[in-house]
Amino acid sequence: GMGWGLLAVGLLLTIYTLLRHGLRRLPPPPARPELHGRTAIVTGGSGGIGAATALELARCGARVILAARSVPRGEATARRIRTETGNAEVRFMQLDLASLRSVRAFASAFLRQEPHLHLLINNAGVSAGGTTEDGFSLCFQVNHLGHFLLTQLLLQRLQSCAPSRIVIVASSAHCAGRLRPDTLGHPPPGLLSTFQDYCDSKLANVLHARELATRLQGTEVTCYAVHPGFVNTELFRHAPLWLKPLFLPLVWLFFLEAAEGARTPLHCATHRGLERFSGRYFADCRPQQPWPLARDDRLARALWEASERLVGLTGSPSPGS
């Protein structure tokens, strides 16, 4: 009767607690780096991992620009971070990565208003279907093409403020990515189109960092792709309803909190001595081998050239020119 039921619930809770806490052998957070006088941009900074990353950078004394789509959410998060850290140098600037026009407007406003840029954290991500005003799949544009354009437009400022860093938030989902430069930006066919598109965009993130590092050699601008861990953020709010019950146990057991998800991006943004790992893929705060396609230099170069063409940057000046 009742007693067995309670016992079962108790046992389940105990197992759950052991799993949840036992599976997270997390080292204590490292000593805070000193970031006074340094400026950082965090895309998707109004929630999830982005907000957690911005909060920690602000705690370290950085000037932080939260670049996000929603004005009310962005303003509220900037206000919360200023209050929580006592750092007044936290501001919101609107950026909608689903619009290349918005990316260009953000970059020119930033370059006009902010003299410095030391850290660019390309964190924003979506897993939803749909098409943008530019005619690309929403997921691929937000996760890769918009960030690709943003990075190129801010590159000279990063170089003039070097040493500086670019952190691209990718995912282990890159393992299922397939990229065909000729159909880039168009959702793949089939039932799992949106899922495939997400994986493709994450493969693009890892390859972007790889090719960017090659092109930035000798500039003292370094870049890193990171897997943040499976984090329970808004990314999954677009999962179909019938899938949500299947996700929930996993979400509760394995998904790190946003603050823990911010740990590897923060490590790559601030840890000393990572310059020799420029272009590499990090997980659990250390460089790891990504899947074979993500190490294909010819594919990386083809992706770069196709991305330049799609965002209207062909013949853009190379770094250092």
Residues acting as catalytic residues: 198
Burial status of residue 156 (CB atoms within 10 A of its CB: 0-12, 13-18, 19 or more): middle
The residues, any chain, with a CB within 8 Å of residue 230's CB and separated by 6 or more, are 250, 254, 255, 256
Comparing CA positions, the residue from 227, 304, 237 lying closest to residue 262 is: 227
* 135 Ramachandran zone, left/alpha/beta (phi>0; psi -120 to 50): left
- Give the integer Cα–Cα distance in Å for 40 and 110: 11
User: What type of residue is 224?
Assistant: Y
C-alpha 113: how far from its chain's center?
Answer: 24
